[in-house]
């Protein structure tokens, strides 16, 4: 055989070996999607973005998801526009921007994508960047339902049952909800992207739906982590969201599906499985296994943070600040994660590390994007002179912006009218001048004034031992919220006094008024061992979360 042919054969064998190695490490499907994405195929870009968003077959990387969705959307892929809008609404991988989210949802709704109509209806239901409008929301849910989006059909049923924006008809609304949820379970079983997550949220609210369990279990076995959590929660006797009792509690089944969800990369599955083994109810009890599972849960949250999920970084900052379970309190690591969250556009992270200037910049961008909680926080900062020059006119303008973007009515009652024809100021206007003859000194918790009065409230820093929770009162989960499958995570900022009492609470990120109020009511009853600085108790600002979950 000629030498050149032997060389060609050797090169061919080497290339095949490299291809096999790549497929082994990254997966054949991922290689194909990455290749087609590089070639400019928008459908492949969108599918690849979905895999990165959920961490399916690859480490989660929401930043990569956003970039892929952006490119595919610009090239006319409407499913990419819809997914991008949802990330803008949650602030995952990009700065929270209700205005842009609403625009993307409207664009996709106009061309006949039912998910766009449903998501825009949710914007009007929750008042995210707009005034709440139940009538407009119901119209959009109906349009979504007409376009065969069954999540829209479900929320239309919720509107009918409660008389929200449409004439009340409890019987027809309840029937609509069951029919729609049945279809969602079928779509979950068929492997449609995101449908198992939606179906999981309904699992506790409507366990009587025929075939729901089979659909969730089958989707779980096919590799959908959300479906595993939904299947497990229906048999979990510790599921706080459960209020139907048609299903028999089975710790073994519950543990099986939580374990599958954990193996598929869902941190909730690992944590819930750890709790089951900790109690030893129906499964072997093992402290070593519990610690191992909690470490896996922590590692999964860390992967999400590393992949650009700023909320996961914020969660880690809070976890290390408090010290929970197998995670020791570590203020240095807490500050590290708060810094990442701050740089990712989360003002709460900036405030925790005393980066007031960065926090104001992030809040201003979010306020301009019609995020009412950001406008509210800016109004309060300007009114109190917190990190900025005190300015009641700007405070009033931000208050007006917050209220026109859907802030809680109870907070808006004290509205002070701003100057007419005045737009929301730019970031440059609201950032304090930190140089020159009129510079404003930003507060610095790491170098507190020794002359500060005892009731001065400071932010956590490396020289302060954070408060430890002694008494946690769980919030009441209103029956009306359960019935309409409303859930979410309320982020609040509390002042923990030098005696350990919670002195005041304000919402940094709302879910909806009824759940927000219950979260505030619960946190006000919490009691702490006070924060300590230089051997003395001090009052501190503390960011806390209250979770309302149906499963």
pLDDT digits (tens, 9 = 90+) for 261-289: 899 888 888 888 888 888 776 677 777 78
How, if at all, do strands 536-548 and 457-459 pair?
parallel
- Report d(CA 270, CA 262) in Å as an integer: 5
Task: Check residue 169 and report its DSSP letter.
Answer: -
Supply the pLDDT for residue 142.
Answer: 94
Cβ count within 10 A of residue 246: 7
Mean pLDDT computed over 496-517: 82
169-308 and 355-429 share one fold: yes
- Report d(CA 486, CA 550) in Å as an integer: 8
pLDDT tens-digit series, residues 309-365 = 888 888 888 888 877 666 788 888 888 888 888 877 777 777 777 677 777 877 888
Q: Is the pLDDT of residue 436 over 80?
A: no
Q: Is the pLDDT of residue 515 over 80?
A: yes
Mean pLDDT computed over 118-139: 87
Mean pLDDT computed over 470-490: 78
User: Token digits for 344?
Assistant: 């990712």
Q: What is the pLDDT confidence band of residue 426, given thresholds at 50, 70 and 90?
A: very low
Supply the pLDDT for residue 281.
Answer: 66
Four-residue CA torsion sign, 156, 160, 161, 165: positive
SS3 per residue for 177-232 = HHHHHHHHHHHHHCCCCCHHHHHHHHHCCCCCCCCHHHHHHHHHHCCCHHHHHHHH
Distances (CA, A) of 372 to 172, 349, 363: 34, 18, 10
Q: What is the pLDDT confidence band of residue 427, given thresholds at 50, 70 and 90?
A: very low
pTM summary value: 0.66
User: 3-class DSSP state for residue 502?
Assistant: strand
Give the distance, in angstroms, between the CA of residue 287 and the centroid of all CA atoms in the same chain: 30
pLDDT tens-digit series, residues 193-209 = 677 777 766 655 565 66
CATH of range 456-551; options 1.10.510.10, 3.30.2420.10, 3.40.50.1820, 3.40.1000.10: 3.30.2420.10
- Report d(CA 531, CA 499) in Å as an integer: 9
Distances (CA, A) of 21 to 10, 17, 214: 16, 6, 37
User: What CATH class is the domain 355-429?
Assistant: mainly alpha
Q: Is the pLDDT of residue 1 over 60?
A: no
Instruction: Indicate the Cα dihedral angle 302, 507, 473, 528, nearest 10°.
Output: 80
Supply the pLDDT for residue 39.
Answer: 61
Cβ count within 10 A of residue 526: 21
**Maximal C-alpha separation, the chain:** 92
Residue 412 contacts residue 399 (beta carbons within 8 Å) = yes
Supply the pLDDT for residue 463.
Answer: 72
Q: What is the pLDDT confidence band of residue 477, given thresholds at 50, 70 and 90?
A: confident
Query: What percent of the chain has a predicted confidence (pLDDT) above 90?
Result: 11
Q: Where are the domains of the chain?
A: 169-308, 355-429, 456-551
Mean pLDDT computed over 408-417: 61
Domain 169-308 has CATH 1.25.40.10: yes
Q: What is the pLDDT confidence band of residue 443, given thresholds at 50, 70 and 90?
A: very low
418-457 b/e (C-beta count within 10 Å ≥ 16 → b): beeeeebbeeeebbbeeeeeeeeeeeebeebeeeeeeeee
Burial class (CB in 10 A: 0-12, 13-18, 19+), 199: buried
Q: Pick the residue with more confidence: 73 or 426?
A: 73
String of DSSP letters for 273-330: HHHHHHHTSSS---HHHHHHHHHHHHHHHHHHHHTT-HHHHHHHHHHHHH-BTTB---
Q: Is the pLDDT of residue 122 over 50?
A: yes
- Report d(CA 390, CA 24) in Å as an integer: 60
Q: Pick the residue with more confidence: 250 or 30?
A: 250
Across 61-65, 159-163, 487-491, least confident range:
487-491
Mean pLDDT computed over 44-52: 84
Q: What is the pLDDT confidence band of residue 81, given thresholds at 50, 70 and 90?
A: very high
β partners of residue 541: 459, 495
Q: Is the pLDDT of residue 112 over 90?
A: yes
Mean pLDDT computed over 11-38: 58
């Amino acid at each position: 055989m000629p030498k050149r042919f032997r060389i060609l054969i050797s090169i061919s064998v080497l290339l095949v070996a490299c291809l096999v190695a790549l497929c082994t490490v990254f997966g054949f499907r991922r290689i194909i999607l990455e290749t087609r994405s590089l070639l400019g195929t928008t459908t492949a870009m969108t599918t690849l973005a979905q895999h990165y968003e959920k961490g399916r077959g690859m480490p989660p990387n929401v930043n990569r998801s956003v970039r892929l969705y952006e490119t595919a959307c610009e090239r006319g892929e409407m499913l990419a526009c819809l997914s991008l809008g949802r990330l803008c609404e949650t602030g995952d991988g990009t700065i929270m921007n209700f205005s842009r989210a609403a625009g993307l949802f409207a664009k996709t709704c106009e061309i006949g994508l039912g998910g766009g109509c449903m998501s825009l209806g949710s914007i009007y239901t929750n008042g995210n960047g707009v005034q709440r409008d139940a009538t407009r929301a119901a119209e959009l849910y109906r349009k979504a339902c007409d376009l065969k989006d069954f999540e829209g059909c479900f929320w239309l049923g919720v509107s009918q049952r409660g008389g929200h924006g449409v004439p009340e008809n409890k019987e027809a609304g309840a029937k609509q909800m069951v029919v729609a949820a049945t279809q969602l379970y079928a779509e979950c079983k068929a492997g449609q992207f995101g449908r198992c997550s939606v179906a999981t949220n309904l699992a506790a609210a409507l366990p009587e739906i025929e075939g729901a369990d089979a659909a969730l279990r089958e989707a779980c076995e096919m590799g959908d982590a959300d479906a595993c959590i939904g299947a497990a929660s229906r048999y979990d006797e510790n599921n706080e969201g459960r209020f139907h009792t048609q299903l028999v509690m089975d710790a073994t089944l519950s543990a099986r599906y939580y374990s599958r969800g954990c193996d598929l990369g869902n941190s909730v599955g690992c944590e819930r499985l750890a709790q089951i083994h900790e109690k030893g109810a129906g499964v072997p009890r093992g402290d070593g296994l519990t610690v191992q599972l909690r470490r896996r849960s922590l590692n999964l949250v860390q992967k999400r943070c590393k992949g650009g999920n700023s909320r996961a970084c914020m969660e880690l900052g809070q976890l290390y600040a408090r010290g929970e379970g197998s995670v020791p309190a570590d203020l240095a690591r807490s500050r590290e994660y708060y810094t990442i969250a701050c740089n990712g556009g989360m003002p709460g992270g900036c405030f925790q590390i005393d980066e007031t200037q960065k926090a104001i910049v992030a809040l201003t961008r979010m306020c301009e994007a019609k995020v009412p909680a950001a406008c509210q926080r800016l109004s309060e900062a300007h009114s109190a002179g917190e990190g900025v020059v005190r300015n009641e006119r700007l405070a009033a303008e931000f208050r007006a912006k917050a209220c026109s973007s859907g802030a809680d009515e109870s907070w808006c009652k004290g509205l002070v009218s701003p100057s007419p024809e005045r737009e929301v100021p730019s970031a440059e206007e609201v950032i304090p001048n930190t140089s020159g003859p009129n510079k404003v000194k930003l507060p610095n918790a790491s170098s507190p004034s020794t002359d500060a009065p005892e009731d001065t409230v400071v932010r956590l820093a490396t020289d302060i031992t954070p408060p430890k929770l002694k008494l946690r009162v769980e919030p009441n989960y209103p029956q009306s919220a359960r019935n309409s499958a409303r859930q979410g995570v309320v982020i609040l900022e509390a002042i923990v006094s030098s005696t350990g009492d919670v002195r005041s609470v304000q919402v940094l990120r709302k879910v909806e008024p009824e759940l927000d109020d219950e979260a505030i009511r619960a946190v006000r009853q919490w009691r702490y061992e006070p924060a300590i600085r230089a051997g003395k108790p001090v009052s501190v600002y503390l960011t806390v979360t209250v979770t309302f979950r149906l499963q």
